């Protein structure tokens, strides 16, 4: 039995399967959310500290280092990165993807 003979003998089943797939595609197209930029909640917290016109060296010693040490003690913190410039410090704290940042920050 060739493929064409088998397809002709099962024409109704094939059409029913095709119609079911088309119907499932139409239902899925209306049910799936569509957005240009999907909502992604990255496990990152950014802290920006401003201390006037202090030099960068003084900011690093008096502000950045103590805050980094305090942040590293928070449970669930994976990495801490900081940038210090004149009068400003920016600290990025990265958590694990499945971790709860809010409870980690509250329990510290």
Whole-number pLDDT of residue 100: 66
In a domain, residue 7? The reply is no
In a domain, residue 85? The reply is yes
> Each residue's pLDDT tens digit in the chain (108 positions)?
798 999 889 999 999 999 999 999 999 988 887 777 777 778 888 999 998 888 989 899 988 999 999 988 888 888 999 999 998 999 999 988 876 666 666 665
Name residues whose C-beta falls within 8 Å of residue 71's C-beta, 6 or more positions apart in sequence: 47, 77, 80, 91, 93
In a domain, residue 5? The reply is no
- Specify the number of domains making up the chain: 1
In a domain, residue 86? The reply is yes
Whole-number pLDDT of residue 105: 62
Q: Which two tokens stand for residue 75?
A: 């449970």
Distance, CA of 86 to CA of 49 (rounded, Å): 11
CA dist 88 → 5, 30, 68, 70 (Å): 77, 48, 14, 18
- In this structure, the chain runs to a length of 108
Question: Where do runs of H (alpha helix) occur along 39-108?
Answer: 56-59, 65-72, 101-106
Distance, CA of 67 to CA of 56 (rounded, Å): 15
Whole-number pLDDT of residue 15: 94
Does this model's pTM top 0.75? My answer is no
In a domain, residue 23? The reply is no
In a domain, residue 37? The reply is no
Distance, CA of 56 to CA of 71 (rounded, Å): 20
The CATH code of the domain that includes 60 is 3.30.70.1430
In a domain, residue 95? The reply is yes
In a domain, residue 31? The reply is no
Q: Domain range spanning residue 84?
A: 44-106
Q: Please list the residues that pair with 93 across neighbouring strands.
A: 45, 80
Whole-number pLDDT of residue 16: 95
């Amino acid at each position: 039995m060739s493929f064409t003979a088998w397809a002709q003998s099962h024409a109704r089943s094939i059409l029913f399967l095709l119609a079911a797939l088309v119907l499932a595609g139409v239902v899925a197209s209306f049910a799936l959310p569509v957005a240009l930029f999907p909502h992604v909640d990255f496990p990152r917290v950014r802290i920006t500290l401003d201390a006037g016109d202090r030099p960068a060296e003084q900011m690093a010693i008096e502000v950045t280092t103590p805050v980094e040490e305090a942040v590293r003690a928070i449970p669930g913190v994976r990495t801490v990165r900081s940038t210090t410039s004149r009068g400003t410090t920016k600290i990025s704290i990265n958590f694990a993807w499945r971790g709860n940042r809010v409870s980690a920050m509250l329990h510290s």
